[in-house]
Structure 1
Amino acid sequence: MNVNRGLKCVLVLASMLLSVSPVVAAELIIDVGSMKKLTTEQLLSRPDVATIVVPGDVTYHRTMTYRAVPLRALPGVKDLSEDAELQITATDGFVTDLPARLVLDDSGKGAVPWLAIEPSDKPWPRSPGGAAVGPFYVVWLKPAASGVMSEQWPFNVDSMRAVPARATRWPQLAVDANVPADSPIRRGQILVATQCMVCHRMNGAGDASVGPDLNRPHNPTEYLQPWALKALIRDPRSVRVWPDMKMTGFDQAAISDADLDAIIAYLGYMTTRRN
Protein backbone atom coordinates (compact mmCIF):
# COMPACT_ATOMS: atom_id res chain seq x y z
CA MET A 1 0.00 0.00 0.00
CA ASN A 2 2.82 2.38 0.89
CA VAL A 3 4.57 1.48 -2.35
CA ASN A 4 1.47 2.38 -4.36
CA ARG A 5 1.15 5.68 -2.54
CA GLY A 6 4.80 6.44 -3.20
CA LEU A 7 4.40 5.66 -6.91
CA LYS A 8 1.36 7.93 -7.12
CA CYS A 9 3.29 10.76 -5.49
CA VAL A 10 6.15 10.36 -7.97
CA LEU A 11 3.74 10.46 -10.93
CA VAL A 12 1.97 13.57 -9.61
CA LEU A 13 5.29 15.32 -9.01
CA ALA A 14 6.50 14.44 -12.52
CA SER A 15 3.29 15.80 -14.01
CA MET A 16 3.68 19.05 -12.07
CA LEU A 17 7.27 19.47 -13.21
CA LEU A 18 6.28 18.96 -16.85
CA SER A 19 3.48 21.53 -16.59
CA VAL A 20 5.86 24.27 -15.39
CA SER A 21 8.81 23.44 -17.65
CA PRO A 22 10.84 26.55 -18.52
CA VAL A 23 10.54 28.37 -21.83
CA VAL A 24 13.13 27.33 -24.40
CA ALA A 25 15.48 30.20 -25.27
CA ALA A 26 14.22 31.87 -28.43
CA GLU A 27 15.84 33.68 -31.34
CA LEU A 28 14.76 36.96 -32.94
CA ILE A 29 15.63 37.70 -36.58
CA ILE A 30 16.14 41.37 -37.42
CA ASP A 31 16.65 42.27 -41.08
CA VAL A 32 16.94 46.05 -41.21
CA GLY A 33 19.94 46.93 -43.36
CA SER A 34 21.63 43.63 -42.59
CA MET A 35 20.34 40.45 -40.99
CA LYS A 36 21.04 39.78 -37.32
CA LYS A 37 19.95 36.95 -35.04
CA LEU A 38 19.64 37.72 -31.34
CA THR A 39 18.80 35.15 -28.67
CA THR A 40 16.82 35.70 -25.50
CA GLU A 41 20.04 35.70 -23.48
CA GLN A 42 21.78 38.18 -25.77
CA LEU A 43 18.86 40.59 -25.56
CA LEU A 44 18.56 40.30 -21.79
CA SER A 45 22.30 40.95 -21.38
CA ARG A 46 22.26 44.21 -23.35
CA PRO A 47 23.31 47.29 -21.36
CA ASP A 48 20.08 49.07 -22.32
CA VAL A 49 17.75 46.38 -20.99
CA ALA A 50 15.37 47.80 -18.39
CA THR A 51 12.43 46.87 -16.23
CA ILE A 52 9.35 48.71 -17.51
CA VAL A 53 5.83 48.97 -16.15
CA VAL A 54 3.11 49.01 -18.82
CA PRO A 55 -0.26 50.31 -17.61
CA GLY A 56 -3.30 48.98 -19.46
CA ASP A 57 -1.40 46.33 -21.41
CA VAL A 58 -3.49 45.64 -24.54
CA THR A 59 -3.07 41.87 -24.40
CA TYR A 60 -3.46 41.25 -20.67
CA HIS A 61 -5.88 44.14 -19.97
CA ARG A 62 -3.99 45.10 -16.82
CA THR A 63 -0.71 46.60 -15.69
CA MET A 64 2.26 44.38 -16.59
CA THR A 65 5.97 44.51 -15.80
CA TYR A 66 8.59 43.37 -18.31
CA ARG A 67 12.31 43.20 -18.95
CA ALA A 68 12.62 45.01 -22.25
CA VAL A 69 14.92 46.88 -24.62
CA PRO A 70 14.03 50.05 -26.57
CA LEU A 71 12.74 49.02 -30.00
CA ARG A 72 14.57 51.95 -31.58
CA ALA A 73 17.88 50.63 -30.24
CA LEU A 74 17.69 47.28 -32.04
CA PRO A 75 20.18 46.82 -34.91
CA GLY A 76 19.33 49.01 -37.89
CA VAL A 77 15.96 50.25 -36.62
CA LYS A 78 17.09 53.85 -36.03
CA ASP A 79 18.23 53.98 -39.67
CA LEU A 80 14.78 53.25 -41.13
CA SER A 81 13.96 55.72 -43.88
CA GLU A 82 11.01 58.03 -43.27
CA ASP A 83 8.90 56.36 -45.95
CA ALA A 84 9.62 52.81 -44.75
CA GLU A 85 7.82 50.56 -42.30
CA LEU A 86 9.03 48.04 -39.75
CA GLN A 87 7.26 44.79 -40.54
CA ILE A 88 6.91 42.50 -37.54
CA THR A 89 5.90 38.87 -37.98
CA ALA A 90 4.71 36.39 -35.39
CA THR A 91 4.92 32.63 -35.15
CA ASP A 92 1.13 32.37 -35.53
CA GLY A 93 1.09 34.17 -38.92
CA PHE A 94 0.18 37.61 -37.57
CA VAL A 95 1.90 40.42 -39.53
CA THR A 96 1.90 44.09 -38.53
CA ASP A 97 3.59 47.05 -40.20
CA LEU A 98 4.66 49.96 -38.04
CA PRO A 99 5.33 53.24 -39.90
CA ALA A 100 8.85 54.55 -39.34
CA ARG A 101 7.47 57.89 -38.10
CA LEU A 102 5.64 56.03 -35.32
CA VAL A 103 8.62 53.90 -34.31
CA LEU A 104 11.23 56.67 -34.48
CA ASP A 105 9.38 59.60 -32.89
CA ASP A 106 11.87 60.69 -30.22
CA SER A 107 10.30 64.10 -29.58
CA GLY A 108 9.45 63.06 -26.04
CA LYS A 109 5.78 63.73 -26.75
CA GLY A 110 4.87 60.53 -28.59
CA ALA A 111 4.44 56.85 -27.78
CA VAL A 112 7.57 54.86 -26.95
CA PRO A 113 7.95 51.29 -28.30
CA TRP A 114 9.78 48.55 -26.39
CA LEU A 115 10.57 44.93 -27.13
CA ALA A 116 9.60 42.87 -24.10
CA ILE A 117 11.63 39.66 -23.68
CA GLU A 118 10.26 36.55 -22.00
CA PRO A 119 12.88 35.07 -19.64
CA SER A 120 13.61 31.37 -20.22
CA ASP A 121 13.23 30.59 -16.52
CA LYS A 122 10.10 32.68 -15.88
CA PRO A 123 7.48 32.32 -18.63
CA TRP A 124 4.77 34.92 -18.96
CA PRO A 125 1.17 33.94 -18.22
CA ARG A 126 -1.09 33.15 -21.14
CA SER A 127 -3.41 35.87 -22.38
CA PRO A 128 -7.01 35.96 -21.09
CA GLY A 129 -7.95 34.19 -24.33
CA GLY A 130 -5.43 31.41 -23.66
CA ALA A 131 -2.74 32.46 -26.16
CA ALA A 132 0.98 32.19 -25.45
CA VAL A 133 2.42 35.72 -25.65
CA GLY A 134 6.18 35.12 -25.71
CA PRO A 135 8.95 34.89 -26.62
CA PHE A 136 8.98 38.55 -27.73
CA TYR A 137 6.25 41.18 -27.54
CA VAL A 138 6.16 44.79 -28.78
CA VAL A 139 4.66 46.98 -26.05
CA TRP A 140 4.15 50.73 -25.79
CA LEU A 141 4.48 53.41 -23.16
CA LYS A 142 2.16 56.41 -23.68
CA PRO A 143 0.40 54.73 -26.64
CA ALA A 144 -2.46 57.25 -26.67
CA ALA A 145 0.01 60.07 -27.38
CA SER A 146 0.49 58.72 -30.92
CA GLY A 147 -2.82 56.94 -31.46
CA VAL A 148 -1.27 53.48 -31.26
CA MET A 149 -3.94 50.87 -32.07
CA SER A 150 -4.53 47.49 -30.49
CA GLU A 151 -3.10 45.51 -33.41
CA GLN A 152 0.14 47.46 -33.19
CA TRP A 153 1.07 45.44 -30.07
CA PRO A 154 2.25 42.21 -31.79
CA PHE A 155 3.20 39.24 -29.62
CA ASN A 156 4.71 35.82 -30.46
CA VAL A 157 7.21 37.93 -32.42
CA ASP A 158 9.92 36.04 -34.29
CA SER A 159 11.23 38.51 -36.90
CA MET A 160 11.42 42.12 -38.00
CA ARG A 161 12.37 43.62 -41.34
CA ALA A 162 12.28 46.91 -43.21
CA VAL A 163 9.69 47.16 -46.00
CA PRO A 164 8.43 50.00 -48.25
CA ALA A 165 5.37 51.94 -47.08
CA ARG A 166 2.05 50.17 -47.63
CA ALA A 167 0.85 52.82 -50.11
CA THR A 168 3.77 51.84 -52.34
CA ARG A 169 3.48 48.10 -51.84
CA TRP A 170 -0.31 47.82 -51.94
CA PRO A 171 -1.89 50.15 -54.52
CA GLN A 172 -4.91 47.80 -54.45
CA LEU A 173 -5.97 49.47 -51.18
CA ALA A 174 -6.26 52.97 -52.62
CA VAL A 175 -9.49 54.92 -52.90
CA ASP A 176 -10.31 57.21 -55.80
CA ALA A 177 -9.15 60.82 -55.68
CA ASN A 178 -12.75 62.05 -55.82
CA VAL A 179 -13.51 60.55 -52.37
CA PRO A 180 -13.66 63.56 -49.99
CA ALA A 181 -10.81 63.94 -47.52
CA ASP A 182 -13.21 63.77 -44.58
CA SER A 183 -15.08 60.72 -45.87
CA PRO A 184 -15.31 57.77 -43.46
CA ILE A 185 -14.12 55.65 -46.38
CA ARG A 186 -10.65 57.18 -46.05
CA ARG A 187 -10.61 56.58 -42.31
CA GLY A 188 -11.78 53.04 -42.98
CA GLN A 189 -8.88 52.49 -45.37
CA ILE A 190 -6.39 53.29 -42.61
CA LEU A 191 -8.22 51.14 -40.07
CA VAL A 192 -8.47 48.11 -42.35
CA ALA A 193 -4.76 48.32 -43.15
CA THR A 194 -3.81 48.67 -39.47
CA GLN A 195 -6.39 46.58 -37.62
CA CYS A 196 -7.56 43.99 -40.15
CA MET A 197 -4.64 43.26 -42.44
CA VAL A 198 -2.53 41.86 -39.64
CA CYS A 199 -4.52 38.68 -40.39
CA HIS A 200 -6.34 39.30 -43.71
CA ARG A 201 -5.51 40.41 -47.22
CA MET A 202 -7.42 42.84 -49.42
CA ASN A 203 -7.54 42.38 -53.21
CA GLY A 204 -4.53 40.11 -52.82
CA ALA A 205 -2.53 42.83 -51.05
CA GLY A 206 -0.92 42.11 -47.71
CA ASP A 207 1.48 39.64 -46.15
CA ALA A 208 -0.72 37.87 -43.61
CA SER A 209 -2.64 34.68 -44.32
CA VAL A 210 -4.38 33.88 -41.05
CA GLY A 211 -7.81 34.90 -42.35
CA PRO A 212 -9.43 35.11 -45.80
CA ASP A 213 -9.08 37.94 -48.30
CA LEU A 214 -11.61 40.66 -47.50
CA ASN A 215 -12.60 41.32 -51.11
CA ARG A 216 -11.84 38.15 -53.07
CA PRO A 217 -13.88 36.30 -54.15
CA HIS A 218 -16.51 38.14 -52.11
CA ASN A 219 -16.55 41.06 -49.71
CA PRO A 220 -18.21 40.42 -46.30
CA THR A 221 -20.61 43.33 -46.94
CA GLU A 222 -22.04 41.24 -49.81
CA TYR A 223 -23.19 38.36 -47.62
CA LEU A 224 -23.64 39.92 -44.16
CA GLN A 225 -26.09 42.61 -43.14
CA PRO A 226 -24.39 45.62 -41.46
CA TRP A 227 -25.67 44.58 -38.00
CA ALA A 228 -24.30 41.06 -38.46
CA LEU A 229 -20.94 42.31 -39.71
CA LYS A 230 -20.65 44.66 -36.74
CA ALA A 231 -21.53 41.81 -34.39
CA LEU A 232 -18.94 39.58 -36.08
CA ILE A 233 -16.21 42.17 -35.60
CA ARG A 234 -17.20 42.88 -31.99
CA ASP A 235 -17.68 39.24 -30.95
CA PRO A 236 -17.20 36.63 -33.70
CA ARG A 237 -18.66 33.79 -31.62
CA SER A 238 -21.94 35.65 -31.30
CA VAL A 239 -22.48 35.21 -35.05
CA ARG A 240 -20.82 31.93 -35.97
CA VAL A 241 -18.21 29.43 -34.83
CA TRP A 242 -15.97 27.37 -37.05
CA PRO A 243 -13.19 24.80 -36.53
CA ASP A 244 -9.79 26.27 -35.65
CA MET A 245 -11.42 29.67 -35.16
CA LYS A 246 -8.73 32.31 -34.53
CA MET A 247 -10.53 35.62 -34.88
CA THR A 248 -10.96 37.53 -31.66
CA GLY A 249 -13.36 40.39 -31.12
CA PHE A 250 -12.63 44.11 -31.06
CA ASP A 251 -14.13 46.01 -28.16
CA GLN A 252 -14.77 49.76 -27.94
CA ALA A 253 -11.23 50.37 -26.72
CA ALA A 254 -9.82 48.77 -29.87
CA ILE A 255 -12.35 50.06 -32.41
CA SER A 256 -14.91 52.75 -31.58
CA ASP A 257 -18.43 52.69 -33.03
CA ALA A 258 -17.48 55.49 -35.44
CA ASP A 259 -14.39 53.59 -36.56
CA LEU A 260 -16.43 50.42 -36.98
CA ASP A 261 -18.79 52.32 -39.28
CA ALA A 262 -15.77 53.62 -41.22
CA ILE A 263 -14.40 50.08 -41.67
CA ILE A 264 -17.73 48.90 -43.06
CA ALA A 265 -17.97 51.96 -45.33
CA TYR A 266 -14.53 51.18 -46.77
CA LEU A 267 -15.31 47.49 -47.21
CA GLY A 268 -18.52 48.37 -49.03
CA TYR A 269 -16.66 50.84 -51.24
CA MET A 270 -14.10 48.19 -52.18
CA THR A 271 -16.76 45.92 -53.71
CA THR A 272 -16.58 48.20 -56.75
CA ARG A 273 -12.78 48.05 -56.88
CA ARG A 274 -12.17 44.32 -56.97
CA ASN A 275 -9.17 43.48 -59.11
Structure 2
Amino acid sequence: MRGRLMAALACALAFMLVASAAARSEPELSLTADGRTRTYTAVQLLARPDAVSVTVPSDVAYGGTATYRAVPVLNLLKEAGIPADAPIQIRALDGFVAQYPAGLFTQSGADGARAFVAIEPRHAPWPKLKGKSATAGPFYIVWQNPQAGRVSSEHWAYQVATIESTRDPVLRFPQIDLPEAVGADAPARRGLSVFIHNCLPCHRMNGGGESTIGPDLNLPMNPTEYFRPEALRALIRDPEAVRAWPERRMPGFGAATIPERDLDDLIAYLDAMRHRRR
Protein backbone atom coordinates (compact mmCIF):
# COMPACT_ATOMS: atom_id res chain seq x y z
CA MET A 1 0.00 0.00 0.00
CA ARG A 2 2.76 2.38 0.96
CA GLY A 3 4.60 1.57 -2.28
CA ARG A 4 1.52 2.42 -4.33
CA LEU A 5 1.08 5.70 -2.44
CA MET A 6 4.70 6.67 -3.01
CA ALA A 7 4.37 5.81 -6.70
CA ALA A 8 1.23 7.92 -6.97
CA LEU A 9 2.93 10.85 -5.27
CA ALA A 10 5.93 10.51 -7.57
CA CYS A 11 3.66 10.53 -10.62
CA ALA A 12 1.82 13.58 -9.33
CA LEU A 13 5.09 15.39 -8.67
CA ALA A 14 6.37 14.53 -12.12
CA PHE A 15 3.16 15.82 -13.69
CA MET A 16 3.44 19.08 -11.76
CA LEU A 17 7.05 19.54 -12.84
CA VAL A 18 6.16 18.92 -16.48
CA ALA A 19 3.21 21.31 -16.27
CA SER A 20 5.38 23.94 -14.60
CA ALA A 21 8.06 23.60 -17.28
CA ALA A 22 5.43 23.87 -20.01
CA ALA A 23 4.01 27.01 -18.42
CA ARG A 24 7.47 28.57 -18.21
CA SER A 25 8.17 27.78 -21.87
CA GLU A 26 4.88 29.25 -23.06
CA PRO A 27 5.60 32.57 -24.86
CA GLU A 28 4.36 35.62 -22.96
CA LEU A 29 3.53 39.17 -24.01
CA SER A 30 3.82 41.83 -21.30
CA LEU A 31 2.05 45.20 -21.31
CA THR A 32 3.25 47.80 -18.78
CA ALA A 33 1.86 51.15 -17.66
CA ASP A 34 2.67 53.13 -14.50
CA GLY A 35 4.70 50.27 -13.06
CA ARG A 36 1.87 47.76 -13.47
CA THR A 37 2.33 44.83 -15.84
CA ARG A 38 -0.29 42.61 -17.42
CA THR A 39 0.92 39.40 -19.06
CA TYR A 40 -0.70 37.21 -21.69
CA THR A 41 0.42 33.84 -22.98
CA ALA A 42 0.06 32.92 -26.63
CA VAL A 43 -2.61 30.35 -25.70
CA GLN A 44 -4.61 32.97 -23.78
CA LEU A 45 -4.48 35.43 -26.69
CA LEU A 46 -5.51 32.83 -29.24
CA ALA A 47 -8.49 31.85 -27.06
CA ARG A 48 -9.80 35.42 -26.69
CA PRO A 49 -13.22 36.22 -28.19
CA ASP A 50 -11.72 39.21 -30.01
CA ALA A 51 -9.09 37.08 -31.78
CA VAL A 52 -9.74 37.34 -35.51
CA SER A 53 -8.22 36.25 -38.80
CA VAL A 54 -6.26 39.16 -40.29
CA THR A 55 -4.93 39.25 -43.84
CA VAL A 56 -2.26 41.79 -44.77
CA PRO A 57 -1.39 42.25 -48.47
CA SER A 58 2.15 43.60 -48.03
CA ASP A 59 3.66 41.84 -45.04
CA VAL A 60 6.90 43.53 -43.96
CA ALA A 61 8.51 40.51 -42.29
CA TYR A 62 7.75 37.91 -44.95
CA GLY A 63 6.73 39.86 -48.04
CA GLY A 64 3.60 39.27 -50.08
CA THR A 65 0.20 38.47 -48.59
CA ALA A 66 -0.02 36.77 -45.19
CA THR A 67 -2.85 35.76 -42.87
CA TYR A 68 -2.59 35.61 -39.08
CA ARG A 69 -4.72 34.94 -36.04
CA ALA A 70 -4.51 38.21 -34.18
CA VAL A 71 -5.95 40.49 -31.49
CA PRO A 72 -6.52 44.26 -31.94
CA VAL A 73 -3.76 46.25 -30.24
CA LEU A 74 -6.24 48.84 -28.99
CA ASN A 75 -8.11 46.20 -26.98
CA LEU A 76 -4.94 45.08 -25.21
CA LEU A 77 -3.83 48.65 -24.50
CA LYS A 78 -7.21 49.40 -22.91
CA GLU A 79 -7.08 46.32 -20.68
CA ALA A 80 -3.56 47.15 -19.54
CA GLY A 81 -4.39 50.79 -18.80
CA ILE A 82 -2.02 52.08 -21.49
CA PRO A 83 -3.27 55.34 -23.06
CA ALA A 84 -3.59 54.63 -26.78
CA ASP A 85 -3.08 58.32 -27.58
CA ALA A 86 0.28 58.50 -25.76
CA PRO A 87 3.76 57.52 -27.01
CA ILE A 88 4.28 53.76 -26.83
CA GLN A 89 7.44 51.68 -26.94
CA ILE A 90 7.66 48.07 -28.08
CA ARG A 91 10.65 45.86 -27.27
CA ALA A 92 11.61 42.76 -29.22
CA LEU A 93 13.55 39.71 -28.13
CA ASP A 94 16.49 40.60 -30.39
CA GLY A 95 17.08 44.08 -28.90
CA PHE A 96 14.93 46.03 -31.38
CA VAL A 97 13.09 48.89 -29.60
CA ALA A 98 10.40 50.58 -31.71
CA GLN A 99 8.98 54.00 -30.92
CA TYR A 100 5.30 54.57 -31.71
CA PRO A 101 4.26 58.24 -31.77
CA ALA A 102 1.26 59.47 -29.84
CA GLY A 103 -1.98 58.61 -31.61
CA LEU A 104 -0.56 56.07 -34.07
CA PHE A 105 -2.74 53.25 -32.74
CA THR A 106 -5.94 55.31 -32.63
CA GLN A 107 -6.28 55.67 -36.41
CA SER A 108 -9.06 53.09 -36.48
CA GLY A 109 -12.23 52.91 -38.53
CA ALA A 110 -12.96 51.26 -41.86
CA ASP A 111 -10.43 53.38 -43.75
CA GLY A 112 -7.86 53.96 -41.01
CA ALA A 113 -4.66 52.15 -40.15
CA ARG A 114 -5.39 49.35 -37.68
CA ALA A 115 -2.79 47.45 -35.66
CA PHE A 116 -3.02 43.85 -34.46
CA VAL A 117 -0.87 41.53 -32.37
CA ALA A 118 -0.44 38.41 -34.49
CA ILE A 119 0.10 35.26 -32.42
CA GLU A 120 2.23 32.35 -33.58
CA PRO A 121 0.54 29.02 -32.75
CA ARG A 122 2.85 26.46 -31.18
CA HIS A 123 1.40 23.63 -33.29
CA ALA A 124 1.83 25.58 -36.55
CA PRO A 125 4.98 27.75 -36.36
CA TRP A 126 5.52 30.44 -38.95
CA PRO A 127 8.33 30.22 -41.54
CA LYS A 128 11.83 31.31 -40.57
CA LEU A 129 12.64 34.92 -41.48
CA LYS A 130 14.88 35.35 -44.49
CA GLY A 131 18.49 34.94 -43.44
CA LYS A 132 17.56 34.26 -39.82
CA SER A 133 17.19 31.19 -37.65
CA ALA A 134 13.96 32.39 -36.02
CA THR A 135 10.42 33.23 -37.06
CA ALA A 136 8.61 36.56 -36.59
CA GLY A 137 6.91 35.08 -33.53
CA PRO A 138 5.88 34.58 -30.91
CA PHE A 139 4.14 37.96 -31.34
CA TYR A 140 4.23 40.29 -34.32
CA ILE A 141 2.64 43.73 -34.82
CA VAL A 142 0.85 43.75 -38.18
CA TRP A 143 -1.20 46.49 -39.82
CA GLN A 144 -4.23 46.76 -42.04
CA ASN A 145 -4.39 49.92 -44.20
CA PRO A 146 -0.97 51.17 -42.99
CA GLN A 147 -0.89 53.64 -45.88
CA ALA A 148 -3.73 55.52 -44.18
CA GLY A 149 -1.49 56.54 -41.26
CA ARG A 150 2.06 57.39 -40.32
CA VAL A 151 3.03 53.74 -40.21
CA SER A 152 6.69 52.99 -40.94
CA SER A 153 8.12 49.58 -41.76
CA GLU A 154 9.78 49.82 -38.33
CA HIS A 155 6.31 49.80 -36.77
CA TRP A 156 5.85 46.20 -37.95
CA ALA A 157 7.77 44.93 -34.92
CA TYR A 158 8.28 41.19 -34.76
CA GLN A 159 9.51 38.86 -31.98
CA VAL A 160 7.70 41.25 -29.64
CA ALA A 161 8.23 40.79 -25.89
CA THR A 162 6.81 43.94 -24.24
CA ILE A 163 4.51 46.86 -24.99
CA GLU A 164 4.80 49.81 -22.64
CA SER A 165 3.57 53.33 -22.11
CA THR A 166 6.39 55.84 -22.33
CA ARG A 167 7.30 59.49 -22.88
CA ASP A 168 8.32 61.22 -26.06
CA PRO A 169 11.85 60.03 -27.00
CA VAL A 170 13.17 63.60 -27.11
CA LEU A 171 12.19 64.07 -23.46
CA ARG A 172 13.71 60.74 -22.46
CA PHE A 173 16.88 61.19 -24.50
CA PRO A 174 17.62 64.92 -24.73
CA GLN A 175 21.00 64.14 -26.34
CA ILE A 176 19.22 63.27 -29.61
CA ASP A 177 17.64 66.72 -29.81
CA LEU A 178 18.75 69.72 -31.86
CA PRO A 179 19.48 73.20 -30.50
CA GLU A 180 16.36 75.24 -29.72
CA ALA A 181 17.39 77.69 -32.44
CA VAL A 182 16.54 75.06 -35.08
CA GLY A 183 12.95 75.88 -36.02
CA ALA A 184 10.07 73.41 -36.36
CA ASP A 185 10.04 73.75 -40.15
CA ALA A 186 13.81 73.36 -40.60
CA PRO A 187 14.85 70.25 -42.57
CA ALA A 188 16.98 68.99 -39.66
CA ARG A 189 14.06 69.35 -37.23
CA ARG A 190 11.81 67.36 -39.56
CA GLY A 191 14.64 64.88 -39.94
CA LEU A 192 14.68 64.28 -36.18
CA SER A 193 11.16 62.85 -36.47
CA VAL A 194 12.26 60.63 -39.37
CA PHE A 195 15.20 59.44 -37.28
CA ILE A 196 13.02 58.58 -34.27
CA HIS A 197 10.56 56.49 -36.27
CA ASN A 198 12.98 54.75 -38.64
CA CYS A 199 16.46 54.75 -37.08
CA LEU A 200 16.09 54.86 -33.29
CA PRO A 201 14.58 51.33 -33.17
CA CYS A 202 18.04 49.96 -34.06
CA HIS A 203 20.50 52.82 -33.45
CA ARG A 204 21.42 55.32 -30.76
CA MET A 205 22.37 58.97 -31.10
CA ASN A 206 24.97 60.41 -28.73
CA GLY A 207 24.23 57.42 -26.50
CA GLY A 208 20.53 58.24 -26.44
CA GLY A 209 18.21 55.31 -27.11
CA GLU A 210 17.72 51.76 -25.87
CA SER A 211 18.31 49.50 -28.85
CA THR A 212 21.32 47.22 -28.95
CA ILE A 213 21.17 46.21 -32.62
CA GLY A 214 23.04 48.88 -34.60
CA PRO A 215 25.88 51.32 -33.85
CA ASP A 216 25.52 54.82 -32.46
CA LEU A 217 25.12 57.23 -35.37
CA ASN A 218 27.21 60.03 -33.88
CA LEU A 219 29.76 58.36 -31.63
CA PRO A 220 32.60 58.14 -32.30
CA MET A 221 31.80 59.46 -35.81
CA ASN A 222 28.73 60.46 -37.79
CA PRO A 223 28.00 58.65 -41.10
CA THR A 224 28.00 62.01 -42.89
CA GLU A 225 31.72 62.17 -42.06
CA TYR A 226 32.75 58.90 -43.69
CA PHE A 227 30.17 58.45 -46.47
CA ARG A 228 29.90 60.59 -49.59
CA PRO A 229 26.33 62.00 -49.84
CA GLU A 230 25.37 59.68 -52.71
CA ALA A 231 26.80 56.66 -50.88
CA LEU A 232 24.89 57.49 -47.69
CA ARG A 233 21.64 57.77 -49.63
CA ALA A 234 22.36 54.44 -51.33
CA LEU A 235 23.12 52.80 -47.96
CA ILE A 236 19.77 53.88 -46.53
CA ARG A 237 17.86 52.80 -49.64
CA ASP A 238 19.66 49.48 -50.20
CA PRO A 239 22.42 48.64 -47.69
CA GLU A 240 23.56 45.56 -49.58
CA ALA A 241 24.33 47.69 -52.62
CA VAL A 242 26.94 49.56 -50.58
CA ARG A 243 28.39 46.94 -48.26
CA ALA A 244 27.38 43.38 -47.51
CA TRP A 245 28.44 40.82 -44.93
CA PRO A 246 26.79 37.71 -43.48
CA GLU A 247 25.64 39.35 -40.24
CA ARG A 248 24.16 42.48 -41.84
CA ARG A 249 20.78 43.25 -40.27
CA MET A 250 19.88 46.68 -41.65
CA PRO A 251 16.91 46.61 -44.05
CA GLY A 252 16.53 48.93 -46.99
CA PHE A 253 14.18 51.90 -46.72
CA GLY A 254 12.44 52.47 -50.03
CA ALA A 255 10.63 55.64 -51.08
CA ALA A 256 7.33 54.20 -49.82
CA THR A 257 8.78 54.14 -46.29
CA ILE A 258 11.05 57.20 -46.40
CA PRO A 259 10.03 59.55 -49.26
CA GLU A 260 12.74 61.61 -50.94
CA ARG A 261 11.99 64.75 -48.96
CA ASP A 262 12.08 62.78 -45.69
CA LEU A 263 15.41 61.27 -46.72
CA ASP A 264 16.76 64.77 -47.38
CA ASP A 265 15.53 65.81 -43.94
CA LEU A 266 17.07 62.76 -42.26
CA ILE A 267 20.47 63.45 -43.78
CA ALA A 268 20.15 67.12 -42.75
CA TYR A 269 19.53 65.94 -39.17
CA LEU A 270 22.52 63.60 -39.20
CA ASP A 271 24.73 66.35 -40.61
CA ALA A 272 23.55 68.79 -37.95
CA MET A 273 24.20 66.30 -35.15
CA ARG A 274 27.87 65.81 -36.07
CA HIS A 275 28.41 69.27 -34.57
CA ARG A 276 26.50 68.31 -31.43
CA ARG A 277 28.32 65.43 -29.80
CA ARG A 278 27.71 64.90 -26.08
Q: Secondary structure of the residue that 1:272 maps to in structure 2?
A: coil
CA deviation after TM superposition for structure 1 residue 198, in Å: 0.5
How many residue pairs end up in the alignment? 252
CA deviation after TM superposition for structure 1 residue 76, in Å: 4.6
CA deviation after TM superposition for structure 1 residue 40, in Å: 0.8
TM-score of the two chains, using structure 2 as the length reference: 0.83
Q: Residues 232-251 of structure 1: matches in 2 within 5 Å?
A: 232-242=235-245, 244-251=247-254
Query: Is 1:143 equivalent to 2:146 in the alignment?
Result: yes
Q: Secondary structure of the residue that 1:164 maps to in structure 2?
A: coil
Alignment partner, residue 59 of structure 1: 61
The 1:129/1:90 distance shift into structure 2, 3 A limit, reads same
- Unpaired runs of 5+ residues, structure 2, are 1-24
Query: Is 1:255 equivalent to 2:258 in the alignment?
Result: yes
Q: Residues 121-270 of structure 1: matches in 2 within 5 Å?
A: 121-130=123-132, 132-242=135-245, 244-270=247-273
Question: Which range is displaced more, 204-213 or 225-234?
Answer: 225-234
User: Which stretches of structure 1, 4 residues or more, deviate above 6 A after TM superposition?
Assistant: none
2:105 to 97, 103, 122: 103
Q: Distance in 1 between matches of 2:79 and 2:209?
A: 22
Equivalent pair of 2:32/2:82 in contact (CA under 8 Å):
no
Question: Which range is displaced more, 86-95 or 106-115?
Answer: 106-115
Query: Is 1:272 equivalent to 2:263 in the alignment?
Result: no
Identity of aligned residues (%): 46
The 1:201/1:102 distance shift into structure 2, 3 A limit, reads same
Tell me the amino acid that sits aligned with residue 194 of structure 2. Answer: L
Q: Distance in 1 between matches of 2:239 and 2:77?
A: 39
Q: Distance in 1 between matches of 2:123 and 2:160?
A: 19
Q: Distance in 2 between matches of 1:162 and 1:261?
A: 31
Equivalent pair of 1:36/1:75 in contact (CA under 8 Å):
no
Query: Is 1:26 equivalent to 2:21 in the alignment?
Result: no
CA deviation after TM superposition for structure 1 residue 150, in Å: 0.8
Equivalent pair of 1:151/1:194 in contact (CA under 8 Å):
yes
Question: Which range is displaced more, 120-129 or 147-156?
Answer: 120-129
Equivalent pair of 1:31/1:160 in contact (CA under 8 Å):
yes
TM-score of the two chains, using structure 1 as the length reference: 0.84
CA deviation after TM superposition for structure 1 residue 126, in Å: 2.8
Q: Distance in 2 between matches of 1:100 and 1:192?
A: 16
Q: Distance in 2 between matches of 1:117 and 1:106?
A: 20
Q: Distance in 2 between matches of 1:167 and 1:83?
A: 17
